C-alpha cells in the first residue's frame, strides 16, 4: 500500500480509534467512508409519518424532517453539496500528489513525540466527539512508522525508544515531559546553536516544506511577502537600537561569572544530599545544588570579615552591609564626556579625541525610524495579517490546553516540594512610596504619634514643627486615624481621573504628611520612610519567595538629587536580597517651567545624567552613588499618558532651545533617556560596571505611538493595555518576546475594567507577560499584594497552577536580577530556550508547556522569514525561495541580524533540504538578559 494511501474499512490502521456516545445509546456505529457516518435509525419511524412520499429517500438515518435543508433566497443546499464535494476531491488529489513527492505542506508530520493517526474513513472522536482516545493495541506497522517518512529523521522519535509508552492517551498536540539532554546540546549549553538547528529542522519538516508555502495566487504571495518584509524591517530596527544601547541579553557585566554581589545572597535552606531531595525525580546532577555566585567565589581579602556579618532573613535589615568592605573604589580611567549641541552626552576615549566613542542615533534618525514603524502599523493589510496570526496563536494555545491539561497537572504532581507558593516571583512594577498597604502605614503613623510626638519633623513658614503640632494643625489625634480617615485607596472616583489618583498619595489629603512619611528628601532626611521600608523588607524576606523592583524618583530639578537618594539608601542600609531598584523620571517639565524652577528642557537632561557620567568616570567622586548603582536596574518614565500631546513644531527643537511652557511629548522624553543612556552604557560596560535598561510605563492610556517608541528603544514596558488596539505592534512584542509587566487591579481602578483587561489574551497568545502590583497602598487590601494580584487573576481568568507558575517564571526572566541569582531560582541552564532551560523542580512549569511555547515561537518566526525571503520572479520559474541566501537573525550583540543559513539545494529522493534557523538562545527570549 502506498505510504499516504487511505486504508479501507477492513484494513488495519496505526491506531484503532473507537467512538461511542457519552450516554452509551449507540453501540454499533457503522462507517461509510469520508462521505458520512451511519447511525441507527429507521426512515419509516413514526417521526417521519407526515413526510411527503418520495422525500423519505432524501433523509439519512437518524434525521428528522426539520433537519432537511430547504432552499431559500440565500441558500441552495444542492449547490453547496456540489461545491463541497468538488473541494474535497481537489484536496484529496493534492494531498495524494504531494504525498508521493514527500515535499508538500499537506503531508504534515505530527509534533515532536506525538502519536500519528493515519487519515481514513474512521470518525476522529470518541466520547461524544470531544476527545480522542488511541487504542494501545493498535500497533503501528513497521512500514508505516511516521518517523521513517522523512529520510533525514531517525527511525524512532529522538526522545522515546520503541518500548516507551505514549506520553498521553489523548494527545494530538502534546510535548515530551522527559528532561534528558537533546542530541547536540552539552550540559554547559555550549552546543545550543546545534540544538536550535535540530529544532528548526523539525519545524521545517512540520509544515513549511518545499514550495507549498507559496502555492497560492501570485498576488496574494507577493502581498504576504511585502508584509513580512515590513515586519522584519521593524524587528531589525529594534535589534539595532537595543544592541547599540547595550540592553541585550549578553551586554550587562552584572551577568558575568565574576560579578560580585554585596551583600551576598543568603545561603540555601537545604542541601542536595538532604533527605527528601537526594535522588528525587527530575533533580539531575547539579540542578538541585546551590550554584556558586560570582561574589562568593571572589570575596578575596574581605571574605572573613564579611562572613561574620551574616544575618537571618527578615531580621536586622542592613546589618550585613558595611561600606568599608567595598573600599577602595576604582579611580579615573582617562575617558571624558561632554554634552553636544543636540542635548546628548557624548563619550570620548581621551581628551584629544574628536570623534565620540559611540555613534548615537540623532533625533532626526529616531523620528524617521519611528515614522516607519507607525506607517507600517497603520497599513490595512499588515494589520489584518498580524490580527489573524494573533488569533491563530490564541486558538493554538486553547487547543494545546484541551489536549494537555490533565498531563500538565500530572507532571506538576510529580515534582517534590515545589508549588505556586514557593516558586520565586518578582513584582516587576511597584512604586516604592506606595509599597506598603494602608493598614501598615496607619499602624506606623499611630506608633510614631504615640512614641515620638515631640520630634521635630517639618520646617514650614519659618518655624519648626513637631509631629504633634503637625497633627494639631489638621485637627487630628492618633485615636481619630483610621483607614477611612487616611483615604488613600483609589476608589471609583479615580477612574479616568489621574489627577485625583495622584492626590491619593497624600494621607488624610494633606501634602505635609506625605512629605514627612513618604519622601526621601525632607527635614528628617527620609528616616520615617526608611524605617517603614525596612519593615516591608522584613515581610518580604520572611515570605522568602517574593521579590520586588521598587521605583524611586529622580525629578531632575537639581543636580544633587542622585547624591541625596544614594545617601538615603546607603546610610539607612536598605540592602536586601529581595530588593532591586529602578529610577523613575516623572515627565513634569511643564510644572517646573511654570513654577520658574528652570528655563529650558536641557536642565532636566543635565540634572538627570551628569552625575551618572561623573560617577562612571571616577567612582570615588560619588562613592555612595557608585555603590547604590550596583543595585539599580534601569530607568522608568512616569506620568499621565492620557494627556493630549499637541505637536506645535514641524521639527522638534533641541533641549537647549525648548523653552516653551508646553511639556515635550512622550517620544521626546524617551529619546533623550535612550540616547544619553546609550552613551552611559557604553562607558559603564567598558569599565566593567553594570549597565542600565529602559523600562518605562507605556500603553496604559493615550496615543498608541507610545508603544511604537517602546518597541524601538525599550527593553520592556509596564502596562501595555493599548496593544490590544494595535495588532501589528502586539505581534512585534510577541515575535521579540518584549516583556510586559501588567497590573490588572491598578488598571481596573484607573483606566480599564478588569473583565476587559487584555492580560489573559496576551498570555494565551504567548506574549511575555508578568503580573505586578503597581501601587499596593492604593489598590491592595492584604499584606501580600503580589499574591493578591495573582489570586484575583486566577479567580477571574480561571488560571491553573501551571499558568501561575509560568507567569512567576516570566517575572523572574523579565527582572533585572543577576544571572547567577536567576540560575539559583530557575535552574542552572535558565538562559537556554525550551525545556533545556527549564528545571521543573525549580519552576514547577512542565517541560511540555515550555516546549510548546518555544516551538510555536520558532514556527512563527520561520513563517515570517520564509515569506520575507520569497522572490515572486523565482517562484514563477518554479523556485520556492532564493538559494544560498542569508536571512536576518538577532544574536544579541550585533546591530543587525546575521548567521541564518538557508541552503535549498536539492536533497535526497528529490526532496529539498530545508533552511535552518540558527539563533542564539537569548535571541529566543530577549527578556532572559539583564533587565
Q: Domain extents for the chain?
A: 1-43+82-166
Residue 393: predicted pLDDT: 97
Mean pLDDT of 441-470: 92
Mean pLDDT of 721-746: 96
Instruction: Give the pLDDT band (50/70/90) at residue 598.
Output: very high
Residue 850: predicted pLDDT: 96
The pLDDT tens digits of the residues spanning 823-868 come to 999 999 999 999 999 999 999 999 999 999 999 999 999 999 999 9
Q: Residue 226: pLDDT above 90?
A: yes
Q: What are the backbone angles phi and psi of residue 462, rounded to the nearest 5°?
A: 80, 10
Least confident range of 477-486, 488-497, 810-819: 488-497
Q: Residue 735: pLDDT above 90?
A: yes
Which one, of 670, 927, 680, lies nearest residue 817 by Cα?
927
Instruction: Give the pLDDT band (50/70/90) at residue 750.
Output: confident
Taking each helix axis as running N to C, give the angle between helix 727-735 and helix 847-869, from 0 to 180 degrees, rounded to the nearest 10.
120
Instruction: Give the pLDDT band (50/70/90) at residue 177.
Output: very low
Say if residue 469 is exposed, middle or buried (CB neighbours under 10 Å; 0-12, 13-18, 19+).
middle
Distance CA 696, CA 819 (A): 22
Angle at 154 between CA 151 and CA 155, to 5 degrees: 95
Cell representation of residue 470: 503637625
Cell representation of residue 63: 434525521
Angle at 724 between CA 392 and CA 492, to 5 degrees: 140
Instruction: Give the pLDDT band (50/70/90) at residue 500.
Output: low
Instruction: Give the pLDDT band (50/70/90) at residue 222.
Output: confident
Residue 198: predicted pLDDT: 52
CB proximity list for 213: less than 8 A, separation 6 or greater: 105, 863, 866, 867, 880
Residue 278: predicted pLDDT: 35
Least confident range of 115-129, 231-245, 395-409, 826-840: 115-129
How far is Cα of residue 36 from the mean position of the Cα atoms in its chain? 45
Angle at 709 between CA 707 and CA 712, to 5 degrees: 110
Cell representation of residue 914: 530545508
Residue 12: predicted pLDDT: 45
Q: Residue 440: pLDDT above 80?
A: yes
The predicted model scores a pTM of 0.73
Pairing of strands 693-694, 345-348: unpaired
Q: Residue 105: pLDDT above 90?
A: no
Least confident range of 230-244, 411-425, 481-495, 802-816: 481-495
Q: Residue 62: pLDDT above 50?
A: yes
Residue 702: predicted pLDDT: 87
The pLDDT tens digits of the residues spanning 652-681 come to 899 999 999 999 999 999 999 999 999 999
Q: Residue 267: pLDDT above 60?
A: yes
Q: Residue 931: pLDDT above 50?
A: no
Question: Among 431, 706, 715, 719, which one carries the catalytic annotation?
Answer: 719
Residue 213: predicted pLDDT: 56
| HSE-up of residue 805 (Cα within 13 Å, Cβ side) | 27
Mean pLDDT of 65-85: 74
Residue 864: predicted pLDDT: 93
Distance CA 669, CA 771 (A): 26
The pLDDT tens digits of the residues spanning 343-370 come to 999 999 988 888 999 999 999 999 999 9
Mean pLDDT of 220-243: 93
pLDDT: is 277 or 80 the higher one? 80
Q: Residue 183: pLDDT above 50?
A: no
Mean pLDDT of the chain: 77
Residue 312: predicted pLDDT: 87
pLDDT: is 345 or 269 the higher one? 345
The percentage of the chain sitting over the pLDDT mark of 70, rounded to a whole number, equals 67
Residue 76: predicted pLDDT: 75
Q: Residue 53: pLDDT above 90?
A: no
| Maximum average pLDDT range among 24-38, 146-160, 305-319, 759-773 | 759-773
Residue 622: predicted pLDDT: 96
Residue 270: predicted pLDDT: 64
Q: Is 719 considered catalytic here?
A: yes
Q: Residue 422: pLDDT above 80?
A: yes
In DSSP terms, 345 is beta-bridged to: 339
Residue 49: predicted pLDDT: 45
Element (H, E) at 195: helix 192-205
**Peptide bond connecting 328 to the previous residue in cis, omega within 30 degrees of 0:** yes
Q: Residue 790: pLDDT above 90?
A: yes
DSSP 327: P
Q: Residue 881: pLDDT above 50?
A: no
Q: Is the CB of residue 930 less than 8 Å from the CB of residue 252?
A: yes
Instruction: Give the pLDDT band (50/70/90) at residue 306.
Output: low
Amino acid at each position: 500500500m502506498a505510504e499516504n494511501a487511505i486504508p479501507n474499512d477492513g484494513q488495519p490502521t496505526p491506531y484503532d480509534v473507537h467512538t461511542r456516545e457519552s450516554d452509551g445509546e449507540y453501540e454499533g456505529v457503522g462507517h461509510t467512508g469520508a462521505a458520512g457516518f451511519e447511525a441507527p435509525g429507521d426512515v419509516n419511524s413514526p417521526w417521519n409519518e407526515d413526510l411527503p412520499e418520495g422525500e423519505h429517500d432524501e433523509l439519512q438515518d437518524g434525521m428528522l424532517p426539520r433537519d432537511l435543508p430547504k432552499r431559500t433566497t440565500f441558500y441552495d443546499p444542492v449547490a453547496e453539496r456540489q461545491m463541497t464535494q468538488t473541494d474535497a476531491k481537489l484536496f484529496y488529489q493534492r494531498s495524494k500528489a504531494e504525498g508521493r513527492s514527500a515535499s508538500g505542506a499537506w503531508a504534515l508530520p505530527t509534533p515532536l513525540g506525538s502519536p500519528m493517526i493515519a487519515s481514513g474513513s474512521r470518525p476522529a472522536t470518541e466520547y461524544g466527539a470531544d476527545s480522542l482516545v488511541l487504542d494501545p493495541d493498535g500497533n503501528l506497522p513497521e512500514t508505516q512508522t511516521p518517523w521513517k517518512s522523512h529520510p533525514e529523521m531517525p527511525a524512532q522519535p529522538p526522545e522515546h525508544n520503541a518500548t516507551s509508552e505514549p506520553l498521553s492517551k489523548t494527545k494530538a498536540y502534546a510535548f515530551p515531559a522527559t528532561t534528558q539532554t537533546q542530541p547536540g546540546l552539552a550540559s554547559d549549553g555550549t552546543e545550543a546553536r546545534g540544538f536550535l538547528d535540530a529544532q528548526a529542522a523539525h519545524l521545517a519538516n512540520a509544515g513549511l516544506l518545499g514550495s507549498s508555502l507559496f502555492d497560492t495566487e501570485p498576488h496574494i504571495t507577493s502581498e504576504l511577502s511585502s508584509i513580512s518584509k515590513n515586519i522584519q524591517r521593524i524587528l531589525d530596527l529594534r535589534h539595532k537600537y537595543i544592541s547599540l544601547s547595550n540592553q541585550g541579553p549578553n551586554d550587562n557585566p552584572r551577568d558575568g561569572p565574576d560579578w560580585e554581589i554585596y551583600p551576598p545572597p543568603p545561603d540555601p535552606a537545604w542541601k542536595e544530599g538532604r533527605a527528601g531531595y537526594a535522588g528525587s525525580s527530575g533533580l539531575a546532577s547539579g540542578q538541585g545544588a546551590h550554584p556558586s555566585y560570582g561574589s562568593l567565589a571572589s570575596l578575596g581579602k574581605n571574605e572573613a570579615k564579611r562572613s561574620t556579618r551574616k544575618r537571618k532573613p527578615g531580621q536586622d535589615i542592613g546589618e550585613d552591609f558595611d561600606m568599608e568592605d567595598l573600599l577602595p573604589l576604582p579611580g579615573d580611567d582617562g575617558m571624558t564626556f561632554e554634552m553636544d549641541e543636540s542635548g546628548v552626552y557624548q563619550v570620548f576615549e581621551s581628551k584629544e579625541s574628536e570623534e565620540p566613542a559611540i555613534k548615537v542615533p540623532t533625533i532626526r534618525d529616531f523620528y524617521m525610524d519611528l515614522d516607519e514603524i507607525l506607517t507600517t502599523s497603520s497599513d490595512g493589510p499588515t494589520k489584518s495579517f498580524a490580527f489573524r496570526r494573533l488569533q491563530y496563536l490564541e486558538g493554538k494555545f486553547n487547543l494545546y490546553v484541551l489536549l494537555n491539561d490533565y498531563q500538565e497537572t500530572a507532571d506538576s504532581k510529580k515534582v517534590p516540594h515545589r508549588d505556586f507558593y514557593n516558586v520565586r516571583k518578582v513584582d516587576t512594577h511597584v512604586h516604592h512610596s506606595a509599597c506598603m498597604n494602608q493598614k501598615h502605614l496607619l499602624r506606623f503613623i499611630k506608633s510614631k504619634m504615640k512614641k515620638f510626638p515631640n520630634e521635630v519633623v517639618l520646617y514650614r513658614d519659618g518655624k519648626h514643627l513637631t509631629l504633634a503640632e503637625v497633627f494639631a494643625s489638621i485637627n487630628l489625634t492618633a485615636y481619630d486615624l483610621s483607614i477611612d480617615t487616611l483615604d488613600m485607596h483609589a476608589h471609583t472616583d479615580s477612574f479616568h481621573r489621574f489627577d485625583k489618583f495622584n492626590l491619593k498619595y497624600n494621607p488624610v489629603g494633606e501634602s505635609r504628611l506625605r512629605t514627612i512619611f513618604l519622601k526621601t528628601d525632607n527635614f528628617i532626611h527620609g528616616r520615617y520612610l526608611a524605617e517603614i521600608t525596612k519593615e516591608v523588607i522584613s515581610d518580604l524576606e520572611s515570605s522568602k519567595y517574593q521579590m520586588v523592583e521598587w521605583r524611586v524618583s529622580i525629578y531632575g530639578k537639581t543636580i544633587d538629587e542622585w547624591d541625596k537618594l544614594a545617601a538615603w539608601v546607603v546610610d539607612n542600609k536598605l540592602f536586601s536580597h529581595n530588593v532591586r531598584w529602578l529610577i523613575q523620571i516623572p515627565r513634569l517639565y511643564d510644572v517646573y517651567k511654570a513654577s520658574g524652577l528652570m528655563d529650558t528642557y536641557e536642565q532636566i537632561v543635565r540634572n538627570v545624567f551628569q552625575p551618572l557620567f561623573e560617577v562612571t568616570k571616577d567612582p570615588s567622586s560619588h562613592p555612595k552613588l557608585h555603590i547604590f548603582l550596583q543595585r539599580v536596574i534601569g530607568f522608568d518614565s512616569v506620568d499621565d499618558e492620557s494627556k493630549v500631546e499637541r505637536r506645535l513644531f514641524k521639527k522638534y527643537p533641541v533641549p537647549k532651545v525648548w523653552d516653551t511652557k508646553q511639556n515635550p511629548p512622550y517620544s521626546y522624553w524617551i529619546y533623550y533617556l535612550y540616547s544619553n543612556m546609550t552613551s552611559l552604557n557604553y562607558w559603564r560596560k567598558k569599565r566593567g560596571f553594570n549597565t542600565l535598561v529602559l523600562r518605562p510605563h507605556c500603553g496604559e492610556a493615550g496615543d498608541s505611538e507610545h508603544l511604537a517608541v517602546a518597541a524601538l528603544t525599550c527593553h520592556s514596558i509596564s502596562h501595555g493595555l493599548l496593544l490590544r488596539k494595535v495588532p501589528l505592534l502586539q505581534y512585534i512584542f510577541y515575535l521579540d518576546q518584549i516583556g510586559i509587566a501588567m497590573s490588572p487591579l491598578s488598571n481596573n481602578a484607573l483606566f480599564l475594567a478588569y473583565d476587559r483587561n487584555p492580560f489573559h489574551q496576551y498570555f494565551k497568545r504567548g506574549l511575555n507577560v508578568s503580573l505586578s502590583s503597581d501601587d499596593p497602598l492604593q489598590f491592595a487590601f492584604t499584606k501580600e499584594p503580589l499574591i493578591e494580584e495573582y489570586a484575583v487573576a486566577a479567580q477571574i481568568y480561571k488560571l491553573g497552577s501551571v499558568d501561575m507558575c509560568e507567569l512567576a517564571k516570566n517575572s523572574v526572566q523579565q527582572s533585572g536580577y543577576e544571572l547567577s541569582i536567576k540560575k539559583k531560582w530557575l535552574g542552572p541552564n535558565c538562559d537556554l530556550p525550551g525545556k533545556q532551560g527549564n528545571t521543573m523542580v525549580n519552576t514547577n512549569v512542565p517541560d511540555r508547556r515550555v516546549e510548546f511555547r518555544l516551538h510555536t515561537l520558532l514556527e512563527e518566526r520561520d513563517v515570517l522569514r520564509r515569506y520575507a525571503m520569497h522572490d515572486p520572479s523565482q517562484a514563477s520559474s518554479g523556485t520556492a525561495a532564493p538559494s544560498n541566501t542569508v536571512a536576518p537573525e538577532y544574536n544579541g550583540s550585533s546591530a543587525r541580524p546575521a548567521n541564518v543559513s538557508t541552503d535549498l539545494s536539492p536533497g535526497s529522493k528529490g526532496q529539498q533540504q530545508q533552511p535552518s534557523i540558527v539563533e542564539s538562545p537569548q535571541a529566543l527570549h530577549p527578556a532572559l538578559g539583564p533587565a
